[in-house]
Structure formats: C-alpha cells, structure tokens
Amino acid sequence: MINVAIVGTGRRGSRHAANFAQIDGCRVKRVYDIVAANAENCAEPLGAEVASDFGQCLADDIDAIVVVTPTDVHAEYCIKAAQAGKHIFCEKPMTRTLDEADQVVKAVAAAGVKMMVGHVLRFSPEYQTARQMIQEGQLGDVGMIRMARINLMPGGWYGDLPRSGGVILDMIIHDFDWLLWTLGRPERIYAHGLYEQLPALDYALCTFRFPRGTVAFVEGSWADATGFRTSFEITGSDGLLAHDSTESTTLVAQRRGEDDEVDGSAYLPMTPTSKSPYQIEDELFIAALENDIAPPVTAQDGREAVKLALAVLESAQTDRVIYYA
Amino acid sequence: MSDKPRIGMISFAHMHAFSYLNVLLSMPDVELIGIADDDTERGKQVADEAGLPYLNSEEALLERADGVIVTTENVRHREKVLQAAQAGVDVMCEKPLATTMEDGREMISACREGGVQLMTAFPCRFAPAFVEARQMIEAGDLGRILAISATNRGRNPGGWFVQPELSGGGTALDHTVHMVDLMRVVTGQEPVTVYAELDTVYNPGLEVEDCGLLSIEFVDGCIAALDCSWSRPPHYPVWGDATMTIIGERGNVAVDLFREHLDYYNNNDQSYTWAGYGETPDDDLVRAFVQSVRSGEPVPVTGEDGLRAVEVALAAYKSVEHGGLVSLPLQQ
C-alpha cells in the first residue's frame, strides 16, 4: 500500500486527492492546506487525516507527497519532501524560477526519490495521437503547428505574475511541454504578451522556430468568457490534422432548476474516454512507485518545460528574439 | 458624367477579376465598356462569354472609361495604374497594391497628380461580420484594442502566384495585406515592428514561401499575430479563411469572415465541400468603387492603405533575411 499526502487542496488538489483515493494499492493518508477548512473539506469524504502542519506529511507512514499548491511554493515543498525521502508528484509548472527547478532536480537526485510533473497533455488521447501521427510521418514535413488554450483569468494568486508567471508559465506551458515532447527544443522564440494587464486578464501570442522548417504558434488566453477550450492544427506536406475541443464534445448536460429555469452550465468532458488524463497520470505515478521504474514525466522534463516557458516570458517582456537551442 | 459610370476591366490574370466582373454585370447602373488584357486569347474569351467588347489596348479602354479595375499579375499593377492616372481615369487595383515600396509610392503620386482616385481592392473590409465588429469597436464597446490573433490561410494558388518574377513573393505578400489592413482599421494605429518566420514546406521546390507567421506590434502597444500560410490542402472543403480574434480592455470579438456555408457531400465525385451562400464581400467592394467614380466622393480604401499593408509584408521578408525585428516605416 502506497500512502500519499496531498499538499494544497484547492480545486485541482481536491481532484488529485479523489483520483489517488480511487487507485487500488494507494491510500490518501493525509492532506494539508494552509487553509484548514479546505483541507477538512477534501479529507472528510476520503477518510483522510488532516495535517495541522506540513511536517506531519513527512512522517514515516507517508510514501509520496502530491504538491498542488500555488506555483511559487512548489520548490519549497518539493525540496523538503525529497530531503525527507518522499517520492513526489508535482503539478505543472514544476517551479516559478529556473534556479528553483535546478534545486528541485538536484534534491530529487540526491535523495534517490522518484518525481513526476503533471504535464497532463501527454496523457490526453488527442494530443498523443497527434504526436504519434507526426512521428510516423503521416503529415509529411510539418510546416505550421497552431495550438490554442483559451480560458478566463482564474482569479486569486494566478493574477499575480511573480507568483504564477501568468498565462505563459501557468497554462500554455502544457502546449510548450507537448512541443518539447514531440519536436525537441526550438531554435528560436519570439512572443508578445499582455501580462501587464494582470490581474484583469492575460494573453500571449508565441512563435517558435524548430529545425527543418517547422513553425509553431501558441495562443494562450485568460481573457475569454465563453468557456475553457483547446485546439490545435498541424499542417504538413502530406496533410492537415485539426482538433477543437468544442467540436469533439460527446456529452452536454443541462440541469433544470427548482424554478424550471434551465441552468446554462454545460458539462464538457475533457476527452471522450472513460478515464480522464488526470486520472491516468495519477495512476501512472503510483505504478512507477510500485514497479520501481521512472515516472513518464520526470523532474528533468519539468525543468525543461519551465526553462522554455521562462524564455517565452522573457521574450514577451524584453521584446527580443531568444535564440534557444 | 452620366448617371451610369463607364467601367472597364484590365486583365483577367487574377482570379478575383471574375468575381468583380460578375458584380459589375449585375449592376444596372453601370455601363461596362469592355475588357483589355495582355493575354489576347484570355481577354477575348472572357469578353465573348460576358457579351462585352474586347479592346486591343488599354489606351482604347482608358479613352472611354470613367473607372477601371486592374487585376493583372502583381508586378504589372504599377504599369497599368500609371496608364490610368495619365488618362485621368479612376482606378481600383487588386491587392497587393505593389511589390515594392518604390512602385507603390509612384502609383500613389501619379494618381494624385493625374487627379484620379486610387482604391485598393480589400474586400474583407466589406464583409458583414467585419463591418459589425468595426462598428462595435468604433463605438467603444471593447475599449482599447490590446491584441489580435489573425489567420488568412489558403491553398497554394499555383500559376503566376508562385513565380516570383510575376508575383513579387509568396504567401507572405499574398495573404498578409488583407489582415494587416483590417488590423489598422480596428486599432486605428500603424504597425511599428514586424517579426516573421517564413519557409517553404507544403510544396517542396516552390520558388516562393508557402508557410508564414508574422508578429506585429502597433504604435499604442497592441500586439498581433498573423498566420498567412498556404496551408489548406488541395482537397480542403473551402479555399481558406480570414479570421481575427480581437481582445479589448472591455471585451473580445471574434470574426470568421467566410464561415457561412452549407456542408455539401457530393456522391458523384465523393467530395465534401463548403457551399457558400449569400453575397460575397466583393459585391460591396465593387459597388463602393463605382459609387466613388460616380460621385467623386473619396474611395473608402485608398492607395495609401494598400501600401501600408504591403510595407508589413515586405518587412516580413526583411525580418527573415536579417533574423530579427524590423522597425516601420521601412528605410529606403
């Protein structure tokens, strides 16, 4: 039995907690949040203990720590966890700064623990399929790759650039990781961003030049009220491959309220598969611990994505072309 | 001038000429005086089919015309527009207005000196969705415009479009100018920097680029990106698109100017295409030109507008050549 402790029980942390609780051979033993009420709400349905301080999550009965806090404190928790000999699952982005990323990688290596970073697109079937088709050459030589990730500004600490890194570090790092995973490092980067508009909104237009003529464009929006959506379009000498999450919706539900008014909120599954990519990544982390193998996304991968996202942010902030690879 | 302005057409090298001709043929208040074309066979065939006179020279056409539409290959715009200016005839020129800044400046000054109007054929300005978005923006509904993400993607048009000695460039010249024009309208600002990535990917061996992405910044800080690629496959259900997502301080608006369509699955050739319906923006474009010829009112899209858009495309080439940001206006 692998006992995990969840650190940070906001919306995403509670989701991970529920996911881990469903995995055979895994138990959510303890949860911790700086807001005790949040921790209690998360712990209660799972029968988990509430830790009154983070140190209790490092006790001998815990095997792994799941870090789902605001980004700027990821490094602190990850390093303490590694030093206590705990395996780590950390939400993306792995850290707020590259220096912190280096420290985390070092601490994990020194402690000989396993670490996985939540770059969840690697477990989304539409993104997996697109990567596979590129690598099998089904699109020929790839020209333009357009990717978009559109949402409202989430509020709270996300609106604080020094804490979250804005839409570039927090959200479209998903797409950056997919590009790194699929194509390797870009040769150069140029980006524009509206980070100065935070906390009202953020928006980014990012260009990447990869070897062999491939150009990637990533649009990230925290300025859209029409609901979360993602899309990509990959064009090559042998074809065009396109995805739009709003056009792959397999279930839409509407609830009628007490007053017979239709509740306009629709349920959009992220993917028409039985397991969400979030569930899959959590299961793969536990499987890596059980089988003593490397997790599918490592601390080094997490560092690569942070490094690229910070270069994009630097380009946007300095209005300069960054020669990268 | 009579109530019926006399309009002529010079060249059917550009496929848009056929659409403009159809609009003119549908207008009862226009006297369509004929067609001139460097390609005699092509000109005669089009004239015969439309039941119009074919004229052996532009001079003969310009002698009788109040206004002409120039739809030659890009590099020949200059010559034909200068002829119209000298003959004192208003002219609407296909985009891109010119292939060099020098040509464009010469065309604009010749028209000014000749006392004729020079209009650039930017039909997207007349697309109903854009007209409505523009009204919202000009009424201040979105506040200041902060960012624009645009696409103007199409198929490889082939023919002279991919021969640089006739086209002046590939997809960056062909598909940058429409959207840059719309960006200038909605921001009310001029571009100040351009960064571009251009390459030839979809059609290996092509003499011009077919894949392109421009990053543009405007005077007031508005940021923009434009995908101008010929990335639509030959069997794509529609020729291409023209889209803009516009982020304002107080709201967003997204336009997809050619989105209206019927899905058409044809059993005979196993094809799936978009069947268009309604008017095309070319209707209002051509009507606006004719109205300006008739009334002497200023054309709604000027030669300067056309050249400003060309300048961004030329800056994109310069960016790729030098590998960095290019400042506007371009140095001589």
CA nearest to B247 within chain A: A223
Range of the domain at B140: 125-281+311-327
Statement to judge: residues B200 and B316 lie in one domain: yes
Domain end call among B122, B150, B173? B122
Q: From CA A82, how far away is CA A19, in angstroms rounded?
A: 23
Domain end call among B57, B90, B122? B122
The torsion angle over the Cα atoms of residues B275, B278, B280 and B281, rounded to 10 degrees, is: -140
* Helices A98-111 and A299-318, axial angle in degrees (round to 10): 170
pLDDT digits (tens, 9 = 90+) for A204-222: 999 999 998 899 999 999 9
Mean pLDDT check: name the lowest of A32-46, A265-279, B204-218.
Answer: A265-279
Kindly state whether residue B134 falls inside one of the protein's structural domains: yes
> Residue B1: its pLDDT value, please?
57
Residues 6+ apart with CB under 8 A from B24: B7, B9, B30, B32, B286, B290
Contact status of B232 with chain A (Cβ, < 8 Å): yes
Statement to judge: residues B319 and B228 lie in one domain: yes
Using only the alpha carbons of chain B, give its radius of gyration.
20
CATH of the domain at B13: 3.40.50.720
Domains of chain A with bracketed CATH: 2-120+279-297 (3.40.50.720), 122-273+305-323 (3.30.360.10)
Kindly state whether residue B79 falls inside one of the protein's structural domains: yes
Kindly state whether residue B295 falls inside one of the protein's structural domains: no
Could you tell me if A194 and A145 are in contact, meaning their C-beta atoms sit under 8 angstroms apart? Answer: no
CA distances from B95 to A100, A128, B64, B127 (A): 52, 41, 25, 16
Statement to judge: residues B155 and B231 lie in one domain: yes
Of residues B2 and B141, the one with the higher pLDDT is B141
Kindly state whether residue B291 falls inside one of the protein's structural domains: no
**Distance to chain B for A276, nearest Cα, Å:** 30
Closest partner CB to A207 (pick from B204, B213, B217): B213
Given a cut of 80, is residue B144 above it in pLDDT? Answer: yes
Statement to judge: residues B237 and B146 lie in one domain: yes
Domain end call among B82, B98, B122? B122
Statement to judge: residues B59 and B172 lie in one domain: no
B146 interaction partners in chain A (CB closer than 8 Å): 194, 197, 203
CATH of the domain at B137: 3.30.360.10
pLDDT digits (tens, 9 = 90+) for A59-98: 999 999 999 999 999 999 999 999 999 999 999 999 999 9
Map residue A164 onto helix, strand or coil: helix
Tokens representing B184 are: 């200038």
Kindly state whether residue B27 falls inside one of the protein's structural domains: yes
Q: From CA A156, how far away is CA A19, in angstroms rounded?
A: 24
Statement to judge: residues B117 and B129 lie in one domain: no
Could you tell me if A166 and A314 are in contact, meaning their C-beta atoms sit under 8 angstroms apart? Answer: no
Q: Which residues pair with A148 in a beta bridge?
A: A219, A231
How many domains does the structure of chain B reveal? Answer: 2
Kindly state whether residue B100 falls inside one of the protein's structural domains: yes
Task: Indicate yes or no: CB of B227 within 8 angstroms of CB of A144.
Answer: yes
Task: Indicate yes or no: CB of B223 within 8 angstroms of CB of A221.
Answer: no
Q: From CA B63, how far away is CA B84, in angstroms rounded?
A: 9
- What proportion of chain A, given as a percentage, has pLDDT over 90? 88
Statement to judge: residues B118 and B23 lie in one domain: yes
Task: Indicate yes or no: CB of A240 within 8 angstroms of CB of B233.
Answer: yes
**Beta-strand relationship, B211-218 and B191-199:** antiparallel
Using only the alpha carbons of chain A, give its radius of gyration.
20
Statement to judge: residues B116 and B186 lie in one domain: no
Statement to judge: residues B110 and B130 lie in one domain: no
Statement to judge: residues B169 and B92 lie in one domain: no
Given a cut of 60, is residue A237 above it in pLDDT? Answer: yes
Statement to judge: residues B183 and B218 lie in one domain: yes
Kindly state whether residue B252 falls inside one of the protein's structural domains: yes
Kindly state whether residue B298 falls inside one of the protein's structural domains: no
Statement to judge: residues B322 and B206 lie in one domain: yes
Task: Indicate yes or no: CB of B149 within 8 angstroms of CB of A235.
Answer: no
pLDDT digits (tens, 9 = 90+) for B294-327: 999 999 999 999 999 999 999 999 999 998 999 9
Q: What are phi and psi of A108, to 5 degrees?
A: -65, -45
Q: From CA A82, how far away is CA B270, in angstroms rounded?
A: 60
Put simply, whether the predicted model's pTM sits higher than 0.90 gets the answer: yes
